[in-house]
Structure formats: structure tokens, C-alpha cells
Amino acid sequence: MQQLNLFEEPTLDLPVTYYPNFLSIEEANELYQHCEQLEWQQNQIKIVGKIMSVPRLECIYGDKGCEYLYSNSVLLKPLPWTEKLAQLRDRIITITGYKFNIVLGNQYRNGQDSMGWHADNEKSMGVAPAIASLSLGSVRKFQLKPIGGKPTDFWLEHGSLLIMHPGCQSTHLHQVPKTKKMVSTRINLTFRPHAGGGR
Ligand SMILES: O=C(O)CCC(=O)C(=O)O
């Protein structure tokens, strides 16, 4: 198994570390196929009083009782871990030392699916959460910027892992912007802690 060295220099002085080849191509392909079968939902979100479709599909798996509310609007109720997702969670916990008890999936069906600037600072994750973000399928641009600062671009590759370290969600924002390029599906799995619940 690949060992991550979390004591190496963080990527570009940002509170993240990027591992482009975290999974082998065979592992990434197999996981992508598994993820295609997950229970994807089209959720609705209320923004300034208007209800709209979230511009991507979402799914959530995790420990019992770990419901996840974001933007004060979308409540996600975790399904029990699949064996493959639980194995991946344990592998990421072992090599990072961070604890995760939910995984939130995002499926970007094409270049119009996206996620705007935000920080993952929901109370349910506790104080200064670490988040591990695994990418599969099409490469998309991921941007990270200090609040009020300039963005740095990452191109998140098939089988890559991006760790957002504790503190990142208080000092930085991130997004996956829309693109006019022809891109096919990208699946992203974000492993997160949850202050409640337990297996
Ligand atoms: O798709 C990604 O790489 C980012 C996902 C994300 O920002 C989130 O789930 O909060």
C-alpha cells in the first residue's frame, strides 16, 4: 500500500496536499465502476428564498446517525457504508491519521455541473475538520484561494487524492467551476468527520 507522508511540504504553501497517483489506474477504474452504482440523488437547494436544483448529483454513505446539513438547506441522510467505500475509508484513515465517518459523493455529469466558492464549515464536522477528496473520471479544475486572495488551480486527476488539512476550511474557499470544454462524468468522494454518530 502506498504510504502518504503528511509531514512533507504542503502543496504550494497551501493547507492542502495533492497526491496525483494515490490509486493505481486499475484501482481507480474499478472504484469508478462501483461508484456509478451508488444511490445518486438530484437534490434541491434554497438560495435567497429561491428553490433550485443542485448543479450536480449527490450521494452520502456513513455511520448511523451522521446526518449532514449543508447551506442550511440540504439535508443528506447517510446510507450504510458499502464494503468498497468502507475499505477505502479505512485505507485513507490509516495513511492520513485523520478520522472520517461519512463520505459525500458528487457526480459532475458534464461541464455545466459545478460547485461554487464555499468552505466546508458545517458544525456537524466539529472544529477544524480534515477532508480527504478522491477524484475519479474526467479531470476538472479545482480552485482554492485564501479568503479575499487569489485562486490556485489544481487539475484533479483520475485516482488522485487531495487532503484539505485542519484549518483549511477557516482560512480558504474552494470551488469546481463550470467549463465550456466537452467533459464527461467526474465523480468526487469527500471523506469527512462527523461529530455525532458512531458505527
Ligand atoms: O468535487 C470536488 O473536487 C470538490 C467537492 C467539494 O468542494 C465539496 O464536496 O465540498
pLDDT digits (tens), the chain, 199 positions: 455 665 555 667 899 999 999 999 999 999 999 999 999 999 999 998 999 999 999 999 999 999 999 988 999 999 999 999 999 999 999 999 999 999 999 999 999 999 999 999 999 999 999 999 999 999 999 999 999 999 999 999 999 999 999 999 999 999 999 999 999 999 999 999 998 755 5
Return the pLDDT at 94.
Answer: 94
Mutate to test the pocket of ligand 1, among 188, 191, 192 (most ligand atoms within 8 A of CB): 188
195 C-beta neighbours (distance < 10 Å), count: 13
d(CA 40, CA 168): 28
Whose grid coordinates read 485523520?
98
Average pLDDT, the chain: 93
pLDDT for 195 equals 87
Task: State the sign of the Cα–Cα–Cα–Cα dihedral 35, 159, 184, 173.
Answer: positive
**CA dist., res. 187 & res. 189, Å (int):** 7
Helix and strand totals (H; E) in the chain: 3, 14
C-beta 156 within 6 A of ligand 1:
yes
Instruction: Please report the atom of ligand 1 found closest to the CA of residue 133.
Output: 3
Centre of ligand 1 to C-alpha 160, Å, is: 13
Q: Structurally, how many domains does the chain consist of?
A: 1
Query: Considering the domain boundaries, does residue 38 fall inside one?
Result: yes
Extract the C-alpha cell encoding 112.
455545466
Query: Please, are residues 90 and 97 in contact by the beta-carbon 8 Å criterion?
Result: no
Question: What single-letter DSSP state applies at residue 125?
Answer: G
* Domain contains 53: no
Cell triple for 102: 461519512
In this predicted structure, what is the pLDDT of residue 13?
87
Reduced DSSP (H G I as helix, E B as strand, rest coil) percent helix, strand, coil of the chain, to 5: 20, 35, 45
Q: Is residue 49 assigned to a domain?
A: no
Which atom of ligand 1 lies nearest, measured to the CA of 188? 1
Q: Which of 22, 59, 133, 134 to mutate to test the pocket of ligand 1 (most atoms within 8 A of CB)?
A: 133
pLDDT of residue 1: 47
Provide the residue range defining the domain that includes 22: 12-43+62-192
Say yes or no: CB of residue 190 within 6 Å of ligand 1.
yes
CA angle 3, 18, 158 (to 5 degrees): 90
- Asked whether residue 57 is domain-assigned, the answer is no
Residue 153, φ and ψ in degrees, nearest 5: -95, 135
The answer as to whether 48 is a domain residue is no
Q: What is the CATH number of the domain that holds 101?
A: 2.60.120.590
Q: What span, in angstroms and rounded, lies between the C-alpha atoms of 74 and 127?
A: 21
Residues 124-160: tens digit of each pLDDT? 999 999 999 999 999 999 999 999 999 999 999 999 9
Q: 185 in a domain, yes or no?
A: yes
Would you say the pTM of this structure is higher than 0.75?
Answer: yes
Provide φ and ψ at 171, rounded to 5°: -110, -20
Q: List the one residue out of 68, 72, 63, 65 whose CA is nearest residue 41.
A: 68
Which pLDDT does position 197 carry in this prediction? 56
